[in-house]
Amino acid sequence: MSEHIETLTIRRPDDWHVHLRDGAMLGAVADFTARVFARAIVMPNLDPPVTTPEAAAAYRARILDAVPKDSGFTPLMTCYLMEDTDPEVVARGFADGAFAAVKLYPKYATTNAAYGVNDVRKVYPVLDRMQAIGMPLLLHGEVMDADVDIFDREALFVDRVLGRLLADFPALNVVLEHLTSAAAATFVRDHQTGREGRLGATITAHHLHITRNALFEDGFRPHMYCLPLAKREEDKRALRAAATSGESAFFLGTDSAPHAVDAKEADFGCAGVFTAHAALELYARAFAEEEALDRLEAFASLNGPAFYGLPPNEGRVRLVRDDTPISESIDVEGRAPVRPFFAGQPVGWRVETENGDHAQAGRTAHGGEARPSGS
């Protein structure tokens, strides 16, 4: 199925949804993102969450400390929305450049979502202000009602919550994050016109590769557990069609979400798949399988900046065929390691950056342990 293209050069991409964490974990993972991506929308779900411009600026400084000085990486910070968030604080952070966007987690939907929003109406004053100043709203799109099947949470969010939100805020720019269902992809595609604001959507690399079967392959597989959960084969096909369509609504957001192996392989194990070590490579693999490598640049490097009103990056990265396996684990200082997606297997590509010295992060010839080279 794969196209016989051996190398591909594209504009340097951006990651419009990533978890970089803090402390030792930040030190272990930040370079993977920074070596390839020029900018990243950094999720605010630390504990405690990032809710003020001051906290965002301090977190941004810790991220910049953790990446090589020559990486040319710009973190774009987000504000964690709570029911009592002050619209003035959000607006001040946006005006200062401390916040690029606001993230809405439905209460209890995912990692550190206990501070999230139970009743969307309570945050209408914030959304009103964001609409007025052109600040994007990023949505974790799942309903949390106890009677809703966990695999239907996204489709019902789109149906019950998102349509209403877009109608109530016709000029608000909204990103539906990490699409996992055909229903959500169709909704995004169908809502491109008739509104003053825009509706965009990010698609992760792992959701282009796995279905819910991956959770139960030869036993329960906690490292395939992420939220929203991977869905059926027909959903994966719809996500591949959306990502490779070239349509401007769809852009790259890895949702790379590292957790130490002991937090994943546990009762009440954490949700999150770590993909930053080979993110662009994993997208390239899916695009090659769809014979759509010519549309990877639109998805990875053009559609996102256009949505956020930013120029595309001037640098270039080169994808080269490579069958070296991904390392089995990523070291984290003083803690259990992280198990990377595709551990021990070849992805089929490697990224060469203009900063050649960071080019081999996350990969070893023997599939052993690897550390990002700059931290």
**Binding region for ligand NCD (CB under 6 A):** 19, 45, 110-111, 140, 226-227, 255, 257, 271-272
Task: Judge contact between 226 and 206, C-beta under 8 A.
Answer: yes
From the CB of 318, what's the least distance to ligand NCD, in Å?
29
Select 101 or 293, whichever has its Cβ closest to ligand NCD: 101
Select 257 or 293, whichever has its Cβ closest to ligand NCD: 257
Q: Residue 271 binds which entry of ligand NCD, Zn ion, none, with Cβ cut-offs from 5 to 8 Å by kind?
A: ligand NCD
> What is the longest distance spanned by two Cα atoms in the chain?
55
DSSP string, 82-138: -TT--HHHHHHHHHHTS-SEEEE-BTTSSTT-TTSBS-GGGGHHHHHHHHHHT--EE
Select 14 or 255, whichever has its Cβ closest to Zn ion: 255
Q: Residue 173 binds which entry of ligand NCD, Zn ion, none, with Cβ cut-offs from 5 to 8 Å by kind?
A: none
From the CB of 20, what's the least distance to Zn ion, in Å?
11
From the CB of 244, what's the least distance to ligand NCD, in Å?
22
Choosing from 255, 294, 323, 357, which is the catalytic residue?
255
Select 30 or 226, whichever has its Cβ closest to ligand NCD: 226
CB atoms within 10 A of CB 300: 27
Select 235 or 255, whichever has its Cβ closest to Zn ion: 255
255 is known as an active-site residue: yes
Token look-up 């297997």 returns 345
Q: Residue 226 binds which entry of ligand NCD, Zn ion, none, with Cβ cut-offs from 5 to 8 Å by kind?
A: ligand NCD
Q: How far apart are CA 105 and CA 113, in angstroms?
A: 6
Alpha helices in the chain (DSSP H): 23-36, 53-66, 87-96, 124-133, 153-157, 163-168, 182-190, 233-243, 261-264, 279-289, 296-297, 303-308
Task: Judge contact between 45 and 105, C-beta under 8 A.
Answer: yes
Note the residues at the interface with Zn ion (CB under 5 A). 255
From the CB of 25, what's the least distance to ligand NCD, in Å?
11
Token look-up 């964490």 returns 21
Select 48 or 134, whichever has its Cβ closest to Zn ion: 48
DSSP designation for 36: H
Question: How many Cα atoms occupy the beta-carbon half-sphere of 353 within 13 Å?
Answer: 24
From the CB of 198, what's the least distance to ligand NCD, in Å?
21
The secondary structure of 293-313, three-state, reads HHHHHHHHHHHHHHHHCCCCC
Task: Judge contact between 319 and 347, C-beta under 8 A.
Answer: no
From the CB of 230, what's the least distance to ligand NCD, in Å?
10
CA dihedral (24, 27, 32, 34) positive or negative: positive
Q: Residue 227 binds which entry of ligand NCD, Zn ion, none, with Cβ cut-offs from 5 to 8 Å by kind?
A: ligand NCD
Which residues carry out catalysis?
255
